[in-house]
C-alpha cells in the first residue's frame, strides 16, 4: 500500500477517535441536554394540562424541574424493533391510564441517537401500547355489555403510526398482531374494569420532534377531539452523523442516552440543581472536575444517617394491593420512619442503617445482604427461603411488612414476588400452608400484581429466573 494511503487512513481514524472522545465529553453532553430541554419546555408549555412523563431514565434528563409533576414510564425500543413488535406484560405501564384520565392526555419525552428523528419506543412501542389498550377495553366492554362507557362515541381501535417512519408494509404487519396482544392482556388476570372505567376516550399517539418547532404556533388543541392524545416527544435534533459543531461545544444527538458511559456518577437531579455552575465552566476539564466534586458531595450527603428533610423527600414506596406487603427504596428503611409505618422490615440492600441492628428490633428486622448486579444472583436465591420463613407469621396476623432495596426496583421486587407466590392466591387471600401449585402463569400473575401497584418495579431477568427456579425446579 502506498505511504500516502497509509497516512490518510491514520488521519481518518484519528479524526474518528477524536469525535468519539468528544461525544462522550460530559461538557458536550450537558450542553446538548440543555439545548434539547428548551424545546421540551416549549412544547410542554403549549399543553400545560397534559401529564408530563419521562421514558426510562434517558427522557427525564430533558425535563427541567418545575412545579409540574413528572411521571415515569418504561416503553422499551426493542418492543418496537422490526419483527420483534410486542406488548410486554412486564412493562405494561398501566399506571399511566389513571394519569392520562386525570389530565385527559399526556406527553412522553424520549430521545434517540444516530440521525433518527424518532426512537422505536415512540414510533412503534407506544403506538402498539395505545392500540392494544383500546382494543382490549373495547372487547371487555362488549363481553360485559358496557358499550355505554364509551359515551356513545366511535371507539377507535385502529393502529396509528407515523407514516414518515413506519412503512405501509410494517404498519400492516404490526396491526395483524394487535388482536393477539389485546387478548393476551385480557387473559393475563389484570383487572379490566378499573381501566375501562378510567378511559373515557380512546388513546391516540401523536409525534413531535425539534423539526416540528417551525409549526408550533399552528398546532391544534385537542379538548374537543374524540380521543385523548398520547404525545410522543423526541427531544433531540436529528443529526446525520450523530454529532454537530456548535459555538463552543459539540452537539450530541440523544446526549442523555447510555449515561453510564459519560455521566461520572452525575444524576439528572444533580445536573439541574447545579446546571448553571456546570455549564459556565471555563473549560471541559473544569466542568469535569466540578462534576466529580458535586457527585462526591451529594453521595456524602445521601449516606449521612442523620434524618434530614432531603431524606424525607426521597422516601418512595408502594403497597401491593391488600396483602400487607410494601416495597420501597432504601430511604424507607431508615429509622424511625420504618418502625412508625411498618411492623416488620426486610432489607435486601447492600447496606443497612446501624439503628436497625439494635436488639429491640432483632425479631422484626431481617437483613439479606444481597449485592447489586450479577454478583448478587446467588445471594438472592439463597435469601428466598429465610425471607419466606420470616414473613409468614407477620402476614398471618395481618401485619404490615416493608421490603426494600436500594431503589426498590429489582431485588426487593423479587423477594416480594416470592412471598406472594408462596402464600397468596389470585384473590389476595393468605394461605399459611402455601397457596398451592406453582407454574409460570401463576408467577407472572403475581408479578403483574406487583407492577400494577409499583410501576417502578423493574426486576431483572436473572431475578425472575431465580424465582422460577426456586418454585419450579
CATH code, domain carrying 424: 3.90.190.10
Q: What confidence score (pLDDT) does residue 420 get?
A: 97
- Of 187, 217, 234, the residue that ends a domain is 234
Lowest mean pLDDT among 139-143, 145-149, 157-161: 145-149
Residues with Cβ within 8 Å of residue 355, at least 6 apart in sequence: 305, 335
DSSP state of 148: G
Question: Which element (helix H / strand E) includes 243?
Answer: strand 243-246
Query: Is 80 exceeded by the pLDDT of residue 135?
Result: yes
Radius of gyration for the alpha carbons in the chain, expressed in angstroms and rounded = 24
Long-range residue pairs from 238-245, CB within 8 A, at least 24 positions apart, any chain: 238/115, 238/116, 238/117, 238/209, 238/210, 238/211, 239/115, 240/115, 241/19, 241/115, 242/23, 242/113, 242/114, 242/115, 243/19, 243/22, 243/23
- Per-residue confidence band for 12, with pLDDT thresholds at 50, 70 and 90: very low
Residues with Cβ within 8 Å of residue 197, at least 6 apart in sequence: 149
424 and 295 housed in the same domain:
no
- Spatial separation of the C-alpha atoms in residues 229 and 415, rounded to whole Å: 37
Is residue 16, in this structure, part of any structural domain at all?
no
Count the neighbouring beta carbons within 10 Å of the beta carbon of residue 115.
13
202 and 70 housed in the same domain:
yes
If you average pLDDT over residues 341-363, what whole number do you get?
Answer: 94
If you average pLDDT over residues 27-52, what whole number do you get?
Answer: 94
Is residue 187, in this structure, part of any structural domain at all?
yes
Query: Is 50 exceeded by the pLDDT of residue 208?
Result: yes
28 and 47 housed in the same domain:
yes
Q: What confidence score (pLDDT) does residue 312 get?
A: 45
Q: What confidence score (pLDDT) does residue 23 get?
A: 72
- Spatial separation of the C-alpha atoms in residues 23 and 129, rounded to whole Å: 33
What domain count does the chain have?
Answer: 3
pLDDT in tens, 248-283: 999 999 999 988 889 999 999 999 999 999 999 989
- Per-residue confidence band for 154, with pLDDT thresholds at 50, 70 and 90: confident
208 and 355 housed in the same domain:
no
Q: Domain range spanning residue 142?
A: 23-234
165 and 120 housed in the same domain:
yes
Query: Is 50 exceeded by the pLDDT of residue 306?
Result: no
If you average pLDDT over residues 153-166, what whole number do you get?
Answer: 92
- Of 234, 256, 291, the residue that ends a domain is 234
If you average pLDDT over residues 51-63, what whole number do you get?
Answer: 92
Cα angle 34, 39, 42; round to 5: 120
Is residue 6, in this structure, part of any structural domain at all?
no
Q: Are 285 and 24 in contact (CB under 8 A)?
A: no
Is residue 461, in this structure, part of any structural domain at all?
yes
Q: What confidence score (pLDDT) does residue 3 get?
A: 44
Q: What confidence score (pLDDT) does residue 375 get?
A: 79
Q: What confidence score (pLDDT) does residue 189 get?
A: 83
Q: What is the percentage of the chain residues whose pLDDT exceeds 90?
A: 70
If you average pLDDT over residues 209-220, what whole number do you get?
Answer: 68
Q: What confidence score (pLDDT) does residue 218 get?
A: 62
DSSP state of 219: P
Query: Is 50 exceeded by the pLDDT of residue 150?
Result: no
Is residue 84, in this structure, part of any structural domain at all?
yes
Q: What is the DSSP string of 56-120?
A: HHHHHTTS---SS-EEEE---GGGGSTT-----GGG--THHHHHHHHHTSEEEEE---TT-SS-H
Longest dimension (CA), the chain: 83
Q: Please report, for residues 5, 12, 14, 114, 456, the alpha-carbon distance to residue 18 in angstroms, rounded to integers and kept in the order given.
A: 20, 10, 6, 17, 38
Cell 447496606 locates to 351
Q: What confidence score (pLDDT) does residue 219 get?
A: 65
What is the overall mean pLDDT for the chain? Answer: 89
361 and 288 housed in the same domain:
no
Is residue 250, in this structure, part of any structural domain at all?
no
59 and 166 housed in the same domain:
yes
C-alpha cell at 248: 463552543
Is residue 39, in this structure, part of any structural domain at all?
yes
Is residue 8, in this structure, part of any structural domain at all?
no
Cα angle 343, 346, 348; round to 5: 160
pLDDT in tens, 360-400: 999 999 999 998 877 788 999 999 999 999 999 999 999 99
Residues with Cβ within 8 Å of residue 218, at least 6 apart in sequence: none
Query: Is 50 exceeded by the pLDDT of residue 405?
Result: yes
- Spatial separation of the C-alpha atoms in residues 157 and 138, rounded to whole Å: 8
- Spatial separation of the C-alpha atoms in residues 136 and 114, rounded to whole Å: 35
101 and 79 housed in the same domain:
yes
Q: What confidence score (pLDDT) does residue 119 get?
A: 94
36 and 157 housed in the same domain:
yes
206 and 271 housed in the same domain:
no
What is the pTM (predicted TM-score) of this model?
Answer: 0.80
Q: What confidence score (pLDDT) does residue 178 get?
A: 98
Q: Where are the beta strands (DSSP E) in 255-391?
A: 317-319, 325-328, 344-347, 365-367
66 and 161 housed in the same domain:
yes
Q: What confidence score (pLDDT) does residue 8 get?
A: 47
Percent helix / strand / coil, the chain, rounded to 5: 50, 10, 35
292 and 186 housed in the same domain:
no
Q: What confidence score (pLDDT) does residue 153 get?
A: 64
Amino acid at each position: 500500500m502506498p505511504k500516502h494511503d497509509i497516512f490518510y487512513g491514520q488521519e481518518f481514524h484519528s479524526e474518528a477517535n477524536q469525535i468519539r472522545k468528544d461525544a462522550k465529553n460530559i461538557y458536550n453532553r450537558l450542553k446538548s441536554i440543555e439545548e434539547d430541554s428548551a424545546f421540551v419546555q416549549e412544547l410542554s408549555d403549549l399543553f400545560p394540562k397534559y401529564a408530563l412523563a419521562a421514558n426510562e431514565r434517558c427522557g427525564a434528563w430533558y425535563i427541567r424541574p418545575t412545579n409540574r409533576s413528572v411521571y415515569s414510564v418504561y416503553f422499551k425500543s426493542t418492543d418496537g424493533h422490526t419483527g420483534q413488535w410486542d406488548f410486554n406484560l412486564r412493562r405494561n405501564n398501566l399506571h399511566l391510564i389513571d394519569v392520562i384520565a386525570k389530565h385527559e392526555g399526556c406527553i412522553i419525552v424520549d430521545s434517540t441517537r444516530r440521525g433518527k428523528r424518532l426512537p422505536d419506543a415512540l414510533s412503534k412501542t407506544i403506538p402498539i401500547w395505545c392500540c392494544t389498550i383500546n382494543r382490549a377495553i373495547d372487547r371487555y366492554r362488549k363481553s360485559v355489555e358496557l358499550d355505554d362507557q364509551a359515551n356513545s362515541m366511535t371507539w377507535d381501535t385502529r393502529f396509528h403510526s407515523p407514516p414518515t417512519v413506519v412503512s405501509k408494509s410494517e404498519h400492516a404487519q404490526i396491526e395483524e398482531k394487535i388482536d393477539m396482544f389485546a387478548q393476551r392482556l385480557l387473559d393475563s388476570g389484570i383487572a379490566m374494569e378499573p381501566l375501562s372505567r378510567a378511559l373515557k376516550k380512546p388513546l391516540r399517539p401523536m409525534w413531535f420532534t425539534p423539526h416540528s418547532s417551525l409549526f408550533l404556533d399552528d398546532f391544534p388543541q385537542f379538548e374537543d377531539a374524540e380521543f385523548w392524545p398520547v404525545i410522543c416527544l423526541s427531544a433531540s435534533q436529528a443529526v446525520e452523523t450523530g454529532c454537530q459543531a456548535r459555538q463552543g461545544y459539540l452537539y450530541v444527538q440523544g446526549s442523555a442516552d447510555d449515561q453510564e458511559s459519560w455521566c461520572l456518577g452525575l444524576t439528572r437531579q444533580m445536573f439541574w440543581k447545579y446546571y448553571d455552575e456546570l455549564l459556565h465552566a471555563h473549560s471541559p476539564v473544569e466542568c469535569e472536575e466540578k462534576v466529580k466534586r458535586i457527585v462526591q458531595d451529594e453521595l456524602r450527603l445521601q449516606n449521612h444517617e442523620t434524618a434530614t428533610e432531603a431524606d424525607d423527600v426521597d422516601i418512595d414506596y408502594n403497597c401491593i394491593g391488600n396483602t400487607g406487603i410494601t416495597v420501597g427504596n432504601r430511604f424507607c428503611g431508615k429509622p424511625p420512619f420504618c418502625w412508625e409505618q411498618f411492623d416488620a422490615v426486610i432489607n435486601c440492600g447492600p447496606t443497612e442503617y446501624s439503628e436497625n441492628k439494635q436488639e429491640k428490633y432483632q425479631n422484626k428486622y431481617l437483613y439479606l445482604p444481597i449485592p447489586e448486579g450479577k454478583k448478587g444472583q446467588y445471594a438472592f436465591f439463597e435469601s428466598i427461603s429465610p425471607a419466606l420463613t420470616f414473613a409468614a407469621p407477620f402476614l398471618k396476623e395481618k401485619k404490615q411488612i416493608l421490603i426494600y432495596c436500594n431503589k426498590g426496583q429489582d431485588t426487593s421486587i423479587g423477594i416480594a414476588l416470592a412471598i406472594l407466590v408462596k402464600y397468596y392466591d389470585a384473590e389476595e387471600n393468605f394461605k399459611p400452608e402455601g397457596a398451592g401449585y406453582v407454574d409460570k402463569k401463576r408467577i407472572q400473575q403475581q408479578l403483574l400484581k406487583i407492577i400494577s401497584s409499583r410501576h417502578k418495579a423493574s426486576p431483572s431477568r436473572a431475578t425472575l429466573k431465580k424465582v422460577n427456579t426456586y418454585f419450579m425446579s
